Amino acid sequence: MRTPFLKKTLRLILLFIIISIRIYSQQQVSNDTSSIKRVLAIMDSFYNSINKHYISNIDLEKMMRKGIDAMLGTLDPFTRYRSKEETDEFHLSLAGKFGGVGMGIREIDRQIVVFQVYQGFPADKAGLKTGDVITEIDGISTKGKFLFEVLNSLRGTPGTKLSIKVYRPREQNQITSNITREEIKLRSVPYYGIISGNTGYIMLTGMTENSSEELLHALLELKQNNTLNGLVIDLRDNTGGYLKQAIKIANFFIDKGNTIVSVKSRDDDSVWYATEPAIDPNIPLVILTNKSTASAAEVLSGAIQDNDRGIIIGEKTFGKGLVGNLFNMGFGAEMVLTIAHYYTPSGRCIQIKNYFTNGTGVETPDSLKKYFKTKNGRLERDAEGIIPDFIVEPKALSPLTFCLIDSFILFKYATQYKLAHPSIAAARQFTLSENEYDNFFTYLKAHSCNYATSTDEKIKVLRKTAASEGYLNYIQPALTNLEKEYKKRKQQDIFIAKKEIKGLLEGEIASRYYYEKGRIEAGFKNDPVLKKAIEIIGNNEVYKKTLAIDK
């Protein structure tokens, strides 16, 4: 009964072996026909022996997956195998559309909770609210269900119906909502607007198949309704996607004929140019980046920087200059295989780590890095991702703040706040009063947030080391006093981290009234990177000097 499945499994393994051998040809490993046949014969014998003679039945698919992952682990972390389920989910994320109800769910306190409702989609139309606890879907209880099981129940063919029963805090009876699924198109431009004076702002969260159309729509609407003095494009946490979308967006600001990106592989080199006149080649432009800005988003940033078309502000980007290509592995599975490197218009590679010596990667030493000139002659160095023209690193969140996020305390308090307050001020103006923050502090006392700091860990290590070396009794009094003073100081974290906690809580509460747009707008007032962008756009002299314009 297992023979057909074994044959299918072996086919997948053999395909990966062939590709692996091709990769290793760069390291002068022979891949002649006899070598391939020998490897395939060994693998065939290997799997047949396990299948026939091992002491118990083996999950061959599970073993295959472990073998594939281990083999690809010797390459780079972006070369990976995806099962059919993983492949389907990946392409859904890139397409940005699927049949569903338009809400995000999370497991909180062993319950399935509505974590986010997207404005205008079926869940929103049916009256579901963030914080609702889903108890039944089509009469089937969600108790004991895994998150992905509930998620699959919510998704389906557009036009089909489902019934959702929820418990809403402070409501005596459960609420039943009848919903018709629709095609859900998640936007890669979740927000655009005016942030200060006449400065436009566009948030771009990914490079999906419709990103360029969405950004163009936002840009044209901003230009039509305002006399823009500058534009900010926020690429923070944009991990990339389709290269062609990055090229199209770059062409909106970079005029026809200029280089946008080049790709170099083992067998071929390609160069992409701006092929159309720019939509706006002159508007002062600022790109925001952080450590999670990667891949196609770095291509866009590099094209803007090397053409001296705009200023980069924020943190150094991730540094992923590897080009991945999809290979069909059969049975719905696929492999993403690294086949080339991205290069910015000046010729610099943005890839930070070299994975061709080992699977963990090694950064290029400074002595081997090269300098390249932008269009106006500014120097930029390769193998470093994209280095901003103005580096602004947001303050790292405190351990307490991370705990409040991870334990959903901020989320749960915002749900209660919404139930007690029918309305709030506009998101940009909304702030919690001192009395309201004190109320949250009282709430926090009843909902403990236990978190460990690096100091906690070091004290544990010190105690353990002292015990093993026979010093614990000697230093015990001092250690006890140290822990006492440390705990007293740790209790002050709620006050020391007040600004960041208050800002995040205001964003969470604003999202209850104004959806994701409210969360974004509430965050503007505490965003040092955005403030720097507004400052630079407002100072034409600094802007031009930074880009070496009219030098």
* Three-state secondary structure string covering 418-444: HHHCCCCCCCCCCCCCHHHHHHHHHHH
Q: Are 179 and 208 a contacting pair, CB within 8 Å?
A: no
Distances (CA, A) of 103 to 27, 195, 271, 345: 48, 27, 40, 40
Query: Residue 432 has which token pair?
Result: 């919690």
Q: Which of 306, 382, 389, 527 is catalytic?
A: 306
Q: What whole-number distance in Å separates Cα of residue 538 and Cα of residue 522?
A: 22
User: Which residues, 6+ apart, have CB-to-CB distance to 84 below 8 Å?
Assistant: 331, 332, 333
Query: Residue 434 has which token pair?
Result: 């001192």
- Known catalytic residue at 145: no
H helical segments located in 395-497? 399-406, 409-420, 434-446, 454-468, 472-490, 493-496
Q: Are 135 and 164 a contacting pair, CB within 8 Å?
A: no
User: Which residues, 6+ apart, have CB-to-CB distance to 61 below 8 Å?
Assistant: 5, 9
- End-to-end CA gap in the chain: 76
- Known catalytic residue at 468: no
Q: What whole-number distance in Å separates Cα of residue 375 and Cα of residue 382?
A: 16
State phi, psi for 86 to the nearest 5 degrees.
-70, -35
Q: Which of 320, 353, 412, 418 is catalytic?
A: 320
- Known catalytic residue at 320: yes
Query: Residue 144 has which token pair?
Result: 């004991």
Q: Which of 212, 295, 301, 511 is catalytic?
A: 295
Which residue numbers are catalytic? 295, 306, 320
